[in-house]
Amino acid sequence: MTVLRPQLTGTFGAVASTHWLASTVAMSILERGGNAFDAVAAAGFTLQVVEPHSNGPGGDVVISVHPRSSGTVRVICGQGPMPQAATIDRFAALGIKQMPAAGQLPATVPGAFGAWMRLLSEFGTMPLGDVLEPAIGYASRGYPLLPAAASTIAAMAPLFRTHWAESARTWLPGGSEPAAGSRMHNTTLAGTYERLVLQARAAATGREAQIEAARAAFYEGFVAESIDRFARTEVFDSTGRPHHGLLTGDDLATWRAGVEETCALPYGDFTVHKPGPWSQGPVFLQQLALLEGCDLRGMGLGSAEYVHTIAESAKLAFADREAWYGDPDHSPVPMAGLLSPEYTARRRSLIGDAANLDPVPGRPGGGEPWIPQAAPEQAAAGEPAWMAHLRSGLPTVNPAAPRAGAGNTCTVAVVDRWGNLAVAVPSGGWLKSSPVMPGLGFALGTRGQTAWLTEGHPNSLAPGRRPRTTLSPSVVLRDGEPFLAFGTPGGDQQDQWTLHAFLAVAEFGLEPQAATELPAWNIDHFAQSFAPRVSRPGVVVIERSHGPEVLAGLEKRGHRLDVVPESTLGKVCAAGVDPGTGFVRAATGARGRQAYAVCR
């Protein structure tokens, strides 16, 4: 293959993210003396401004960190739980059988801000004002509007004008739809950030105390009060009717972002760390465990046999995800059994020469698996185009949105000169998910749509339960030393596209940059996590750059192919340390003409 971008290496720091401005902001923080954790947070807040169609302050984030001094890897959970008023009976009384995609009903506690504050307080070094300064600057002075954001605003403009007045004021400057590349502002959001910083400085003098004061201002102060007040108003949503929200100020005041141990798996010289089963993260580890018993190198990178074997392992792992994953604080998840060698060997024996068109979950410990089924949704006659977009829980409005892997999110990965690794995958609170709230400049997230409105499943809706998130950063150590931190946008497909890149590095010795540029593919067999939970049994979505021989070989094995243009699946971003030289390095492919790596 021809690698289009150079492998960036250096001695000072390395950053890769889904937006060039976020990457340069992170590097500027490193140059001002901050560490990787300060830098990833500054980039995260910048992404809330410059990628508003993909994330926002009302959304969620999962952050994985490896402080070199401790030698450990930890996960900061910025996935807020469902409100205390969110019960299955409450939705049944409203005549709702499947979680709505948009509006206030699927809103969770906004987890992103609390997670960033926990990261800065526990691992960072810089004052909050310095970390937020770049985001405030772009929100107040303007930033170039991405084509995807412009198309999303244009598609949803009729909804904004007729039902979501504050969204219209925010995203339709002068009443018109902004063009891609135009200078966009969000002065209200800038004011929210500035007020948080000012209140923090007024309340305390020390760095950690100011960060705690800002957290309190968000979850117990003026932000929580505004969210509580807005939730009491009725808002038109994806059910086609207006509803008030379930989220209250008490829900925000009683929540704190947690720091957790990772779910980890050895793989050769590597140890791969993922978030727990409240995310989809362990599905990456289950695939690795299945594939460790296969001769991937003998198959050849990117061959039909190689793609077939990985696709079949994905079906088995994702079947288990659908049946068993959920918030372990509320339901037991048999993670040890799912990753045990004995169980893995039984599952691996199911991988044959032909595509399995009916993969089923396993029975770790003899348990009985169950995968709920989504009720099909029918569009009403004469339904406007924006309503179809509203009923889709994905942030995208492009023609590929029915594909489970078409969703957009953000990613940023950083390594500093001390060998600290940090990677975050922010999402939710995107501009089509819910109306912009007056006085705040951002919308609530809708991660609650991923929960099931049926009793007895690990991911069933329940008060205080985290709905299973797709956000899934990765940190890899090699012989106990920092090696690579990476992530990608892509909803349910994150732990397929990143797996392919990691295997290219771990099994075939590719540099991270080359690995991010490899032709990509993913299965689409299971219902996506987002409304309306589209599934395409047996389908493998694959970039045409694999070539006719590989495509024909997959079809011969029984796979149903959806062949898409080259470089259209995912935006893998990675930063790490070269174990041979000690150089830091960063990588991201050219997909989307947006992701950008910086190294010096």
> Which tens digit of pLDDT belongs to each residue from 408-447?
799 999 999 999 999 999 999 999 999 999 999 999 999 9
**Which amino acid belongs to residue 238?**
S
The predicted structure's pLDDT at residue 405: 44
At a CB cut-off of 8 Å and minimum separation 6, what does 474 contact?
Answer: 64, 272, 273, 274, 281, 284, 423, 484, 485, 486, 487, 498, 502
Per-residue pLDDT band for 399 (boundaries 50, 70, 90) equals low
Q: What is the CA radius of gyration of the chain?
A: 22
Angstrom distances, CA of residue 166 to CA of 118, 397, 408, 537: 30, 20, 23, 40
The predicted structure's pLDDT at residue 404: 41
Number of residues that make up the chain: 600
The predicted structure's pLDDT at residue 396: 84
Q: Rounded distance, CA 130 to CA 543, Å?
A: 42
Strand order in the sheet with 74-78: 258-261, 74-78, 60-66, 421-427, 412-416, 13-17, 596-599
Strand partners, 521: 542
In 3D, which of 528, 162, 87 has the Cα closest to residue 321? 528
Which tokens in the block code for residue 178? Answer: 């902004």
In 3D, which of 192, 221, 281, 233 has the Cα closest to residue 107? 233
Above 70 in pLDDT, residue 403?
no
* Contact between 453 and 97 (Cβ < 8 Å): yes
pLDDT digits (tens, 9 = 90+) for 209-265: 999 999 999 999 999 999 999 999 999 999 999 999 999 999 999 999 999 999 999
Q: Average pLDDT for residues 91-117, to the nearest whole number?
A: 97
Place of tokens 């990143």: 498
Q: Average pLDDT for residues 86-91, to the nearest whole number?
A: 98
The predicted structure's pLDDT at residue 584: 98
Angstrom distances, CA of residue 163 to CA of 59, 212, 298: 21, 36, 58
Q: Average pLDDT for residues 158-185, to the nearest whole number?
A: 98
Strand partners, 78: 61
* Strand duo 143-144 + 74-78: pairing: unpaired
In 3D, which of 284, 259, 260, 258 has the Cα closest to residue 272? 284
The helix, strand and coil proportions of the chain, stated in percent and rounded to the nearest 5, come to: 40, 15, 45
Q: Average pLDDT for residues 494-509, to the nearest whole number?
A: 98
The predicted structure's pLDDT at residue 391: 93
* Contact between 570 and 407 (Cβ < 8 Å): no
pLDDT digits (tens, 9 = 90+) for 260-301: 999 999 999 999 999 999 999 999 999 999 999 899 999 999
The predicted structure's pLDDT at residue 407: 53
pLDDT digits (tens, 9 = 90+) for 525-556: 999 999 999 899 999 999 999 999 999 999 99
- Produce one character per residue of 359-382: b if its CB has 16 or more CB atoms within 10 Å, e if not: bebbbbeeeeeebbebeeeeeeee
Q: Rounded distance, CA 225 to CA 55, Å?
A: 22
Greater model confidence, 98 or 2: 98
CA dihedral 579, 585, 589, 593 (to 10 degrees): 170
Where in 18-112 does DSSP place strands (E)? 60-66, 74-78
Q: Please state, for a pLDDT cut of 70, what percent of the chain lies above it.
A: 98
* Strand duo 539-543 + 560-564: pairing: parallel
The overall average pLDDT reported for the chain is 96
Q: Average pLDDT for residues 52-81, to the nearest whole number?
A: 97
* Number of other residues whose CB lies within 10 A of the CB of residue 270: 18
The predicted structure's pLDDT at residue 406: 46
The predicted structure's pLDDT at residue 401: 43
The predicted structure's pLDDT at residue 402: 46
